[in-house]
Amino acid sequence: MAESATEKTATLPGKCRLCGSPLRVLFSSKLPVAVSSACFPVFRPTLIMQCTTCNLYQKTDETLVADYLNYQVFDNDPAADKLIFKTGKPHQTRSQLVADLVVSQLGGNREGRVLEIGCQRGAFLTALKAAAPNFKLHGFDLDPSYKSIIEPICGPNTYCCGELADVVGPFDACVLIHTFEHIPNPGQVLDTIHRLLVPGGLLVIVVPDLLASPLDFYVIDHTCHFVAPVLERTLLRSRFVGRPDTTIISNEQIAMARSVEKAELPSTPLEPCDAPILSLLHRLECCLQKLPKGPSLVFGTAVIGVLISGVLGDDCIGFIDESPFQAGKKFLGHTIRSTDGLRGERVILGVAESLAPVVGQRLRALGAEVVNPWELAGV
């Protein structure tokens, strides 16, 4: 663990994106590859900084790779929206769940005015329109071409791109679903949103939960990374009050905050929480360096799967996925296969450690030679 201690105490030039304080190196990856939000390998090592004052985890401009004008997640297929399963309840998409949360806060019978920032192709706006037909919906994103998709959902002159400050308010609510972690100037954007909202307006932010999903560090276009206490104080700095909830969606946190006229940051320092994050990442990298040589399929097309494919190089001969909307689609030059016909094939599991034993058991029953990378640490 001497390596981790060295990384945590080193200081590099640079200032925090949120508060302007000095930064220190928290994590320097030994892997040659990172992952884009669109789940493509980016051959650049991950370097994570931490603010010495506000504790925000972040990448510097020099280590960030982002190209949102060519941003696609399986062609932004709305059917690819994450499914949320709750015991005893019908499953929902993430967009439907967040739409229900907004309606519960605003009331569905009034003409609430709602802006989604980072609307992409309108999965959330479509869900919100179905849940609250009286709402006046608007979308904002960087791509001008989304106008032809969003305005048929929301109506004429409801899509804006360019500068957020040029959007005409006020709004009763602003929603950012997996957008806030991409923003290079989070404090300035929150201040702009505060001006766009009515007094007491609702802000809903959905971001990865770093404690539950430390591999978020490897997503090379995620500018900032959040644990719940840091997200809560980030919101307070721009006069939003609300505590993030990490129990609604697995590996994610949802903050439902209200704008206030004044807010004060607590004087007590935040408790450090990076030890378990760093421990898992160092163990994962150790395991990936011990992957077997030779042709292998990778199960999973999310962050771990892409990291594994990058480490394997030409030894990666394709991808397996159980999700119905994935099978048959092209991914990194391969057609994603279902779990049919795996007998005798080597399959490396690109899934979370908690899921790997269950997935591995299913694939072994189909005759596959399964490699669980999480079991390679002691090899």
- Per residue in 214-231, pLDDT (tens digit) is 999 999 999 999 999 999
The domain of 35 spans 2-63
Q: Directed axis angle between helix 2-9 and helix 275-288, to 10°?
A: 120
Number of domains within the chain:
3
207 and 226 Cβ atoms separated by less than 8 Å: yes
Residue 327 lies in a domain: yes
225 and 181 Cβ atoms separated by less than 8 Å: yes
Q: What is the pLDDT of residue 89?
A: 78
Do 255 and 161 belong together in one domain? yes
The vertex-38 CA angle with 32 and 40, nearest 5°, equals 30
| Distances 134 to 111, 171, 174, 185 between C-alpha atoms, Å | 5, 14, 16, 33
Nearest to 79 by CA among 301, 325, 300, 322: 325
Residue 139 lies in a domain: yes
Q: Directed axis angle between helix 275-288 and helix 303-312, to 10°?
A: 40
Do 192 and 318 belong together in one domain? no
Q: What is the pLDDT of residue 221?
A: 95
Tokens standing for residue 162: 């360019």
Give the confidence band of 172 by pLDDT, cuts at 50, 70, 90. very high
Task: Please check the confidence at residue 76 and state whether its pLDDT lies above 70.
Answer: no
Q: How many residues does the chain have?
A: 379
Residue type, 219: V
Say if residue 304 is exposed, middle or buried (CB neighbours under 10 Å; 0-12, 13-18, 19+).
buried
The last residue of one of the domains, among 39, 63, 87, is 63
Q: What is the pLDDT of residue 5?
A: 31
**Rounded Cα gap, residues 230 and 246, in angstroms:** 13
| Distances 79 to 35, 83, 95, 137 between C-alpha atoms, Å | 22, 10, 11, 21
Do 106 and 252 belong together in one domain? yes
Percent of the chain past pLDDT 90, that is, above it, reads: 77
> Which residues are CB-neighbours of 2 under 8 A, at least 6 positions away?
none
Tokens standing for residue 370: 């399964």
Tokens standing for residue 183: 């923003």
Do 298 and 228 belong together in one domain? no
**Rounded Cα gap, residues 280 and 363, in angstroms:** 25
Give the confidence band of 109 by pLDDT, cuts at 50, 70, 90. confident
Task: Please check the confidence at residue 67 and state whether its pLDDT lies above 70.
Answer: no
Task: Please check the confidence at residue 2 and state whether its pLDDT lies above 70.
Answer: no
Nearest to 292 by CA among 225, 176, 228, 375: 375
313-341 mean pLDDT:
90
20-35 mean pLDDT:
95
Give the confidence band of 138 by pLDDT, cuts at 50, 70, 90. very high
Residue type, 56: L
Do 88 and 237 belong together in one domain? yes
DSSP assignment, residue 337?
B
Do 255 and 173 belong together in one domain? yes
pTM for the model stands at 0.90
Do 162 and 248 belong together in one domain? yes
Q: What is the pLDDT of residue 68?
A: 61
Do 253 and 296 belong together in one domain? no
Q: What is the pLDDT of residue 223?
A: 97
DSSP string, 152-219: HHH-TT-EEES-GGGS---EEEEEEES-GGG-S-HHHHHHHHHHHEEEEEEEEEEEE-TTT-GGGGGB
Residue 295 lies in a domain: yes
> For the segment 348-377, what is each residue's pLDDT rounded down to a tens digit?
999 989 889 999 999 999 999 999 999 997
CATH at 185 = 3.40.50.150
Do 302 and 229 belong together in one domain? no
Give the confidence band of 4 by pLDDT, cuts at 50, 70, 90. very low
Do 227 and 301 belong together in one domain? no
> For the segment 231-288, what is each residue's pLDDT rounded down to a tens digit?
999 999 999 999 999 999 989 999 999 999 999 999 998 988 999 999 999 999 999 9
